[in-house]
């Protein structure tokens, strides 16, 4: 067995101790322990031994105290420099909380972001930084509880400065425990993201205006096609029918071809006009418009679509009805084309808090590769769902792709948190 020590010792003495027992000398000795600490023993007579001496090695060289002292000084210096670094950071509020959630430390970033001096805030509870509405909901206490149970918690929301103004902050709260697992407090790191939040809101407002302008333009074009172009084709067909009665032979065949072409164009114009803005949305409501579209789509594609809608639905805001109609109109064709299935299902359900519209194919669904492309916004369905997500986001809703064993679902969910949410009547 080879024994190494960072202290200068006599190899012969160690060898003697290992072979014949402890080497005891009249002066003070140093005991080498595995934990790396040094202990001074009082002088002991040579030859004196006790059961506790078994297996110990004693050397007569004095300890090198400079090694331990240097390590301690370096550790203290690193601790001091780290503390100075934390205290000088200005882009993040970094501070400690005691186990009860009271502020225990404060740095320059916390003073700049939150507006409190250390003397003003140390000892105050975390709830001081939250709005009365969040305090009433017990949000600060719930965040501390989650951090204690899960180790850390992240959250974004409005925070209150010392002067009463608000900023949008991203907060990370981490539970701090000792080597025995006992809670010693919490670390809190807060970043001011108000500028990012304002940019997101401005971008969302712009997207909302673009969607609104797009819907208005669709409605304008649809109205124009319905009110002017379509009647013109009706008049054209009427004239062609009259010409057909007065002609024969080759001319009659040409006339028949013109009639067939005019009838086809007339149908296409009506279809395009309906797809741009279905008049049933304005006259009969969302459920009727969706039923008309789904039944027409099923006939055209020669597929089966099971429709599970409530018998009635109170009138929804125009923007909501258009958004939900677009979910069906844009997601269903792409979904069926990718899956190759000939059966689909559409359901709509409303409760006190949410409206849920689900469009799915009944069959093998989409492959994992296609689903990954959709999630990344690639392909026809990926592009469609990306646009639908933005549209629903403007209304506070979501659009998700949910694969199951029996097929793939496109699920649009919209919160109904306004007074008097629309309620569904019993199923017919």
* SS3 state of residue 157: strand
pLDDT higher than 50, residue 113 = yes
Please state which of the ranges 33-37, 230-234, 243-247, 337-341 shows the lowest mean pLDDT: 33-37
Give the C-alpha separation, 166 to 171, whole Å: 14
Please state which of the ranges 101-115, 218-232, 383-397 shows the lowest mean pLDDT: 218-232
Top-confidence residue, 17 or 348: 348
Total count of residues recorded for the chain? 428
How do residues 369-408 score in pLDDT, each as one tens digit?
777 777 776 666 777 777 788 888 888 899 888 887 777 8
Q: ∠ CA(317), CA(360), CA(379), 5° rounding?
A: 90
pLDDT at 9: 45
Farthest-apart Cα atoms in the chain, separation: 142
Region of residue 138 (phi > 0: left; psi between -120 and 50: alpha; otherwise: beta): left
How do residues 145-155 score in pLDDT, each as one tens digit?
999 999 999 99
Which residues pair with residue 359 across a beta bridge? 346, 410
The closest of 268, 283, 281 to 230, measured between CA atoms, is 268
Please state which of the ranges 5-19, 96-110, 166-180, 209-223 shows the lowest mean pLDDT: 5-19
Q: What is the DSSP string of 353-387?
A: SEEEEEEEESSS---HHHHHHHHTT-HHHHHHHHH
Q: What is the DSSP string of 189-235?
A: EEEE-HHHHHHHHHHHHHHHHHHHHHHHHHHHHHHHIIIIIHHHHHH
Give the C-alpha separation, 252 to 212, whole Å: 49
Asked, colleague to colleague, whether 72-192 and 281-428 share their fold, the answer is: no
Report the Cα–Cα distance between both ends of the chain, in Å, rounded.
88
| Res. 50 pLDDT band, cuts 50 70 90 | low
* CATH hierarchy code of domain 72-192: 3.30.450.20
For tokens 């670094």, what's the residue?
Answer: 85
**Per-residue pLDDT averaged across 344-352, rounded?**
89
For tokens 């180790």, what's the residue?
Answer: 151
Domain definitions of the chain by residue range = 11-63, 72-192, 198-277, 281-428
Number of Cβ within a 10 Å radius of residue 97: 21
pLDDT at 221: 73
Element at 262 (helix H, strand E): helix 249-276
| Res. 181 pLDDT band, cuts 50 70 90 | very high
Any idea which architecture 281-428 has in CATH?
Answer: 2-Layer Sandwich (3.30)
pLDDT at 258: 84
pLDDT at 168: 94
pLDDT higher than 80, residue 7 = no
| Res. 83 pLDDT band, cuts 50 70 90 | low
pLDDT at 341: 75
Q: ∠ CA(227), CA(329), CA(397), 5° rounding?
A: 115
Whether residue 374 contacts residue 401, with contact meaning beta carbons closer than 8 Å, is answered with yes
pLDDT at 204: 72
Give the C-alpha separation, 395 to 47, whole Å: 90
Give the C-alpha separation, 258 to 244, whole Å: 10
Report the predicted TM-score, pTM, of the whole model to 2 decimal places.
Answer: 0.49
pLDDT higher than 80, residue 114 = yes
């Amino acid at each position: 067995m080879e024994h190494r020590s960072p202290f200068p010792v006599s190899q012969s003495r160690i060898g003697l101790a290992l072979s014949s027992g402890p080497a005891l000398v009249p002066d003070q000795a140093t005991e080498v322990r595995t934990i790396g600490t040094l202990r001074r023993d009082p002088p002991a007579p040579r030859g004196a031994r006790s059961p506790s001496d078994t297996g110990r090695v004693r050397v007569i060289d004095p300890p090198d105290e400079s090694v331990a002292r240097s390590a301690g000084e370096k550790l203290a210096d690193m601790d001091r420099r780290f503390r100075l670094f934390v205290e000088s950071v200005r882009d993040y509020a970094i501070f400690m909380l005691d186990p009860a959630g009271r502020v225990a430390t404060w740095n320059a970033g916390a003073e700049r972001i939150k507006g409190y001096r250390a003397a003003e805030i140390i000892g105050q509870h975390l709830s001081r930084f939250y709005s009365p509405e969040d305090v009433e909901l017990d949000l600060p206490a719930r965040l501390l509880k989650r951090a204690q149970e899960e180790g850390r918690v992240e959250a974004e929301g409005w925070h209150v400065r010392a002067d009463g103004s608000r900023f949008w902050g991203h907060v990370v709260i981490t539970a701090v425990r000792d080597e025995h697992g006992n809670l010693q407090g919490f670390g809190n790191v807060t970043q001011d993201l108000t500028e990012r939040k304002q940019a997101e809101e401005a971008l969302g407002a712009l997207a909302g205006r673009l969607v609104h302008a797009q819907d208005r333009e669709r409605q304008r074009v649809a109205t124009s096609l319905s009110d002017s172009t379509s009647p013109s084709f009706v008049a054209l067909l009427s004239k062609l029918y009259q010409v057909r009665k007065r002609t024969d032979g080759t001319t009659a065949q040409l006339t028949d071809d013109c009639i067939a072409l005019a009838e086809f164009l007339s149908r296409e114009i009506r279809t395009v006009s309906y797809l741009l803005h279905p008049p049933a949305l304005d006259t009969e409501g969302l459920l009727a418009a969706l039923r008309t579209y789904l039944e027409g789509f099923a006939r055209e594609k020669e597929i089966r679509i099971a429709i599970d809608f409530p018998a009635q639905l109170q009138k929804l805001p125009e923007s909501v009805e258009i958004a939900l109609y677009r979910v069906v109109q844009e997601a269903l064709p792409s979904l069926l084309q990718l899956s190759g299935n000939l059966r689909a299902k559409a359901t709509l359900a409303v409760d006190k808090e949410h409206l849920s519209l689900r469009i799915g194919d009944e069959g093998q669904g989409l492959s994992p590769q296609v689903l990954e492309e959709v999630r990344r916004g690639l392909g026809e369905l990926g592009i469609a769902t990306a646009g639908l997500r933005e549209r629903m986001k403007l209304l506070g809703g979501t659009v998700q792709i949910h694969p199951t064993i029996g097929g793939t679902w496109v699920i649009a969910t919209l919160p109904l948190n306004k007074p008097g949410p629309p309620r569904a009547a019993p199923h017919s």
